[in-house]
Structures are given as structure tokens and as C-alpha cells.
Amino acid sequence: MTDTSRVGPANQQTNPSGSRPRVLIAAELESLLPEDPLPGYEAVWISTLDPTPRGDFVAAILLLSRSMGEEELEGLPKLQVLAQCAVGYDNIDLGAAARRGIPVTNTPDVLTESTADLAWALILAVARRMKEGQEMLAQDTWSGWSPTQLLGLELNGSTLGIVGAGRIGQAVGRRALGFGMRVSYSDAEGRPDFERAIGAERSDLPTLLAESDVVTLHLPSTAETRGIFDAHRFSLMKPGSLFINTARGDLVDEGALLESLDEGRLGGAGLDVFSREPQVPRELVEHPKVVALPHIGSATTQTRRAMAELAVKNALEVLAGREPLTPVRG
């Protein structure tokens, strides 16, 4: 790339040439974007592992691992837009951005289908006890086919409970039809189109938890939802049922989840997200009933490119004085 510069961490970033306005962009996105993705601007590629730089950046294109609160924004006085390359934006203090009049954008829609696929990969892996089966082969303890070996949950005829029926929750629900599952959902809003499309039924959360064989979580992380899956909520789940989380780790009390698995109350869990990423509780990851993945819900080449391109477009639209394509409405 000719139009870019790479800099070290946390130094005061100024524009010595004064030529082109500078855009802070996560270095991890570089290989997903075309050459010169920000014509007219100087792209300053900084890894999300580095501290947030201070300086005269007019836009910041961010990953969810970069926190953006009062302190970081204080150091970015020229910022006109925060363009998040993710659908979730719990790393950004929306209040702090709003107080400075800085719009925030995210990347919904483009990742819906790939994330729903991954939720299903986890549902299937946990329902059919794939981790235990793989381990049996890896440890060379398999003694041959047995009629009672590794019996799992038959999805056909079982109930899938979707907690949060937004875009991704609904895409997970659509796939359930192909597996012959009944679908129920809980959501602050009724979703009549979703109900009509696949015969989904809306329930309150306790009823959904009591009746579902598989519970799949698709809520954003907010002050209201954080920790929603605590010991009480797990105790309401149908004995032996499965818990899937491809949303955010901090929706879950991981200690309570582990206890429910150890007590045998839950039959298994599929987790793509953790509350203190990239740290993961070893007891959960190594648990025979848990299939755990390193936050790869949207990780297909096509989706990650589309996310990066949408984040860049959002930044450019705001810088050009236009409405962004996918604003976050705070």
C-alpha cells in the first residue's frame, strides 16, 4: 500500500505534512481491504493490541477489542466518526461519543448468516457430543460401535429457544426448520414476520427456559442484559438441555454455567464468547460437555471482508457529511 503509514503504540499522532486528514484504522483489517481503502485520507494502521493513540484523527475504524470511553476520546479531539467493525459495540461508551457529537456506526446484516451458521455448528456439535467422540478417538479408547455409546439429543421434534430474536436470532430460527425443530423465542418486541415465516412462538423467558431442549443466546450486551444467565436462570432450564452462546460472554455468569454443567442440570454448552476475552476459564474450555471456540462467529472470508468494507464506507460517508449506512442509534 502506498497511501498508508504504520506507527508504534500510544504516541502522540500528529500530521506533520498537513496534507491529508488522518484516519485511525485497525491494522488487523488491512489484508481484508482493497489498496487505498480511504482515498483522500491517510490511513494510519494501528494494531488493536496497541494502546489507543492520541492525535488529530478524523475517524476511527475499530475492532471490538478496542475500548473507546471518555479517556480515549479525550485524546482524539478531531474525531468525527467511530466506525465499529462488528455488529456489537459494547466496547464503545455511546454516552461519551454522544456528548462529543460523534456518531457511532456498526456492521449489522453482513455477518448475520455466517454467525447463525456458527451457532448451528455449536448446536450440532453439542447435541451429538462430538467433543467426547473426538476425545475417545484421540485417546485411543474406542472399543467399537455400541448401541448406547455417546447418545445425544435428537433435534428433530425438539424445541429450540431463541433468547433475543433480532437478525441473528431469526437466522438461527430459520435454520431450525430444516432440522425439524419447534422454535420459541423471547424478545422485548413481538416479531410477527418471524412468527409467520417459520411458525415461531413468543414466550416469556422463564417459560422458554423451562420448555426448550436447546437455548441459544442472541442478545446484545447492555446494562440490562449483562449477567442475565445467572444461577437462577440456569436453574429454570429444562434438565439436560443445552446452552449455546454466540453473542457476548458477559451475558453469562460463567461460574454458574460451570456449576450447572457439573451438577448435570445442563446437558452441554457451546460457547463462542467469554466474559474476559481473550482469557477463558480453563474449567469451561476443558469440560467434556463444552465445545468452546475463540469468538469466530462471523469468521468467513466473505463476511469479514464485507464487515471491513462496510466499516470503511460508514466512516467515509460521515466524513463526506452524509448519513452513514448503518448508524448505531443510541
Q: Which three cell numbers stand for residue 238?
A: 429444562
Sole window of 27-35, 81-89, 155-163, 275-283 interacting with ligand GLV (rule: CB under 6 A):
81-89
| Residue 15 vs 65, nearer CB to ligand GLV | 65
Q: Verify whether residue 277 is a known catalytic residue.
A: yes
Per-residue binding string, ligand GLV, 239-278, x by CB under 6 A, is ----------------------------------------
Give the end-to-end CA distance of the chain in Å, rounded to a whole number: 35
**Binding residues among 108-137 for ligand GLV as defined by CB under 6 A:** 111
Q: Verify whether residue 128 is a known catalytic residue.
A: no
Among the listed residues 218, 248, 287, 304, the single catalytic one is 248
Q: Verify whether residue 329 is a known catalytic residue.
A: no
Among the listed residues 191, 295, 304, 317, the single catalytic one is 295
- Among residues 25, 26, 87, 104, the one that binds ligand GLV under rule CB under 6 A: 87
Spatial neighbors of 125 by CB under 8 A, at least 6 apart, are 131, 270, 291
Q: Is the peptide bond before 278 cis (omega within 30 degrees of 0)?
A: yes
| Residue 86 vs 319, nearer CB to ligand GLV | 86
**Binding residues among 36-75 for ligand GLV as defined by CB under 6 A:** 64
| Residue 136 vs 296, nearer CB to ligand GLV | 296
Q: Determine, following the binding rule CB under 6 A, whether residue 219 of this chain makes contact with ligand GLV.
A: no
Q: Determine, following the binding rule CB under 6 A, whether residue 217 of this chain makes contact with ligand GLV.
A: no
Separation of alpha carbons 35 and 94, rounded Å? 31
- Output the smallest distance, CB 297 to ligand GLV, in A: 6
- Output the smallest distance, CB 89 to ligand GLV, in A: 8
- Output the smallest distance, CB 326 to ligand GLV, in A: 12
CA 185 to chain centre: 19
Separation of alpha carbons 304 and 82, rounded Å? 18
| Long-range contact set of residues 285-291: C-beta below 8 Å, sequence gap at least 24 | 287/258, 287/261, 288/131, 288/132, 288/135, 289/126, 289/131, 289/132, 289/261, 290/126, 290/131, 290/261, 291/122, 291/125, 291/126, 291/130, 291/131
Which of 201, 284, 207, 283 has its CA nearest to residue 245?
284
Q: Determine, following the binding rule CB under 6 A, whether residue 306 of this chain makes contact with ligand GLV.
A: no
- Output the smallest distance, CB 59 to ligand GLV, in A: 19
Q: Determine, following the binding rule CB under 6 A, whether residue 216 of this chain makes contact with ligand GLV.
A: no
Residue 198, class by beta-carbon neighbours within 10 Å (0-12 exposed, 13-18 middle, 19+ buried)? middle
- Output the smallest distance, CB 259 to ligand GLV, in A: 26
Element (H, E) at 120: helix 112-127
Q: Which residues are catalytic?
A: 248, 277, 295
Give the residues lining the site for ligand GLV (CB under 6 A).
64, 86-88, 111, 297-298
